[in-house]
Structure 1
């Protein structure tokens, strides 16, 4: 077969053969697929991790269900409507202020999260989880952090991906019960060889780009400060004792080690574009290092489920050879589970499911719209964060309704805080005794600032820190009323007469202590 080329009179090529063009295009598509495609088993692990994170998040929030999400708590629905009217209208959790109604929504969310984790009706479970999570976050915006924003966006991105294609009850059910399960009980080599193809498209690119945008945005913000380039940031963070997690107080105060940790984390953030640009072992090593770093943060810092969310977000980056090894390791147990599930579902799968023409047409249109929607979201994601960083000018129509900078990824950036923040929540009984209104234990009658304590949870910290920055009476009064009830539950017999709340800040450099009284309240006025 002759290859025809077009040459100029001097003998230089002015064009390329169609075959060469097709070969180059094919190589480009293959390279793009390796970088923006995701192994279906990675999507399965991502799905399971999201389900588990949602369950953990719900369990942690449930400890303060009344405090944060009911009319008897720190943010009654009337106050929410005044502060965030749109959130009050859209949140399902704001339909009732009764703890029982909110608990029912928690239960529904837990069922949906469990279904997502095991891959049962995956698309429906993802959609329900997304709606209920967004509703829960809208019910009390004052207890949210960057991890909450990331989680809801990951769920939104996951809704467009085939999360239930592998390692799911949906996959077993689609396979046809016992016969198909028996066919799938093949050698590990055959099974792995047939599963190395990636799922590629704008939908699978969305969660990957989202994670890299978060890291890059945070790196840019950190480099704009002085503490991170100087290698001082991590040492400053661990001076803030109110942020200490389970092992935070055990971190050695050795400057060279903390300086290395600062530069190491900053280097990981700067290198984060390699999560997409690199392939193979380099990509796996970078994703694994970031994952380990996030999990170690959970031990050192009080940051709620942020570390678990970040770890889950990294799973789609791991290449096929990682999942090959995982699949080989769990193959015996997986085969037994698959066969058991197949036997239980045989009755449901012996009769082929029928689908009406209108429903099939709707499904086809929805499937065709997914790549377009994902592409639009990709462009919007990059543009929004570019505006948040000031790299792209914010158009007037956007600036008139929102400030992109308010949704930036500026965790501990550009510099970590320089003050240790604590709270004095003191309840006085009718007998003159005093107890801590947050923790319930006795305190000194003349409680000194040195008796100030850190926050019970990361969400309490977020709430009280925002309140200290802007102590509006409309928000302080409901909080004090809730602290009356909380302290009364500790003291018993309705003995609490009053509560007071103060914010205490200690400069970590000079030791200077500042006290700001946020408010006080008579709990049992005559």
Structure 2
């Protein structure tokens, strides 16, 4: 759990750094989702977000710095319980500000922090542990939250398999062929295996049955350490394969971090014997440099409660966690087609309030067949047609060598995916005007554009490597006054 805490702190910092590069675009009123548009089209009344208090990018930058500070404290294990609560709330708030760029990894990261609020993941490898007088510190822990964490990991994989309710996943085995036909997410590793249909078929079937059956190994009571190592090893390799073949942002990294919490005692004994000594000097230096840092949020509470009242509070906490765990299981099972009984609208408020809502539909129920690439066709004041997506080069409908390279990061890729859906048509004019404004602000008057067309070159994936003729679709047109 301590290793997972360090990993989560690191991922939070990386995620904030990536998001901060698009501070104005995704989180301010000058970007693609102003607050009034968010509240009109996307918002749920039970969502909470302090990031919606202002549309100024400067306020957003301040909130990003606050979140980064607490994420760093989490990594170090300083005031871990308090910091975990703050990190969870800041992440929840940030994700609620723009749900159009979210993906499954965001849901998992949010849930890891939620369960960790009730777990002692600051007990080891932390500044808190160095200040603790308890010795020896317990190395095992069992509670409703620890059960919730393990069940959460199981739900991620079992539910994504159940949601893949299509013959291409468990019968014909063509799902991975279809996934690697999507140039928007195709990485070099995917290009290497794409020409081999038999290999893709067996990899597809292997993916489906691994996701469905592997998590149940965690429940085997005998030789539990061995089976946990099997689960961790297989999932680590599984997500390594995903990271080499598909453009999925931080999804694979978040999943790697999540399985650290499943490592059995034998693995941690090896870690402490072989690797931990290399970090001791670094830890000593860190403690020396931070010894005189002002205690910015040194909060101390003195509770004068009898043992009976402590037990009562503990029972209330366990009861709350058990209730949320039951709700999470209910939410997940209500999504799968085998049950086909959506959670009632009247019961959804808790999921949205705590953001324990989740849907693990990665390439489910089947892989998208609509692929393509964007052309941002700008008409200059000199009546030249240039492509803003290709740094102002002349417009061409020839397919780029790398469609992935057109996206700044996975947040923009996800945004562009949502941009295509008819029910998200409200997004289109705001994106169009944003790109037009950004271009004109950063270029000389001679290179200004007076009209911008957002064009999508649609390619529908066909079976058996059949050639595809792209179809030009104009999604939006905007211009200067």
Alignment-derived partner of residue 5 in structure 2: 47
CA distance in 1, matches of 2:435, 2:478: 9
Alignment-derived partner of residue 260 in structure 1: 202
Shift of the alpha carbon at 1:154?
Answer: 1.4
Shift of the alpha carbon at 1:363?
Answer: 7.8
In structure 2, do the counterparts of structure 1 residues 114 and 360 end up closer, same or farther at CA, with 3 Å as the change threshold? farther
Alignment-derived partner of residue 12 in structure 1: none
CA distance in 1, matches of 2:452, 2:302: 64
Alignment-derived partner of residue 422 in structure 1: 373
In structure 2, do the counterparts of structure 1 residues 57 and 375 end up closer, same or farther at CA, with 3 Å as the change threshold? same
Q: Structure 1: give runs of 5+ residues left out of the alignment.
A: 1-42, 181-193
Spell out, residue by residue over 1:218-271, the C-alpha distance to the aligned partner (whole angstroms, 9 max, x if none): 111224443443222212211111112364434452223222321222221122
Larger radius of gyration: 1
CA distance in 1, matches of 2:286, 2:419: 51
Matched, 1:476 2:436: no
Shift of the alpha carbon at 1:501?
Answer: 0.3
Alignment-derived partner of residue 371 in structure 1: 318
Alignment-derived partner of residue 514 in structure 1: 471
Shift of the alpha carbon at 1:135?
Answer: 1.0
CA distance in 1, matches of 2:423, 2:341: 33
- Note if contact 1:425-1:500 (Cα within 8 Å) is conserved in structure 2: yes
TM-score by length of 2: 0.86
Shift of the alpha carbon at 1:213?
Answer: 0.8
Match of 1:245 among 187, 202, 225: 187
Matched, 1:505 2:449: no
Alignment-derived partner of residue 397 in structure 2: 448
Greater alpha carbon shift after TM alignment, 458-467 vs 358-367 = 358-367
Greater alpha carbon shift after TM alignment, 219-228 vs 97-106 = 219-228
Spell out, residue by residue over 1:120-155, the C-alpha distance to the aligned partner (whole angstroms, 9 max, x if none): 111122111111111111111111111111211111
Matched, 1:298 2:256: no
- Note if contact 1:172-1:338 (Cα within 8 Å) is conserved in structure 2: no
- Note if contact 1:287-1:318 (Cα within 8 Å) is conserved in structure 2: yes
CA distance in 2, matches of 1:113, 1:342: 18
Spell out, residue by residue over 1:45-100, the C-alpha distance to the aligned partner (whole angstroms, 9 max, x if none): 11111111111111111221111111111001111111134469732112111111
Match of 1:271 among 193, 213, 219: 213
CA distance in 2, matches of 1:140, 1:355: 36
How large is the RMSD of aligned CA atoms in angstroms? 3.1
CA distance in 2, matches of 1:401, 1:203: 21
Shift of the alpha carbon at 1:516?
Answer: 2.3
Match of 1:218 among 149, 160, 181: 160
Aligned ranges 1:163-174 → 2 under 5 Å = 163-174=121-132
Q: Structure 2: give runs of 5+ residues left out of the alignment.
A: 294-298
Match of 1:491 among 443, 447, 457: 443
Matched, 1:328 2:281: no
How many residue pairs match? The answer is 459
- Note if contact 1:146-1:409 (Cα within 8 Å) is conserved in structure 2: yes
CA distance in 2, matches of 1:132, 1:359: 31
In structure 2, do the counterparts of structure 1 residues 309 and 331 end up closer, same or farther at CA, with 3 Å as the change threshold? closer
In structure 2, do the counterparts of structure 1 residues 480 and 111 end up closer, same or farther at CA, with 3 Å as the change threshold? same
- Note if contact 1:66-1:73 (Cα within 8 Å) is conserved in structure 2: yes
Alignment-derived partner of residue 144 in structure 2: 202
Match of 1:411 among 356, 362, 367: 362
TM-score by length of 1: 0.79
Shift of the alpha carbon at 1:369?
Answer: 3.0
CA distance in 1, matches of 2:345, 2:460: 41
CA distance in 1, matches of 2:387, 2:45: 32
3-state SS, counterpart of residue 119 of structure 2: coil
CA distance in 2, matches of 1:347, 1:472: 52
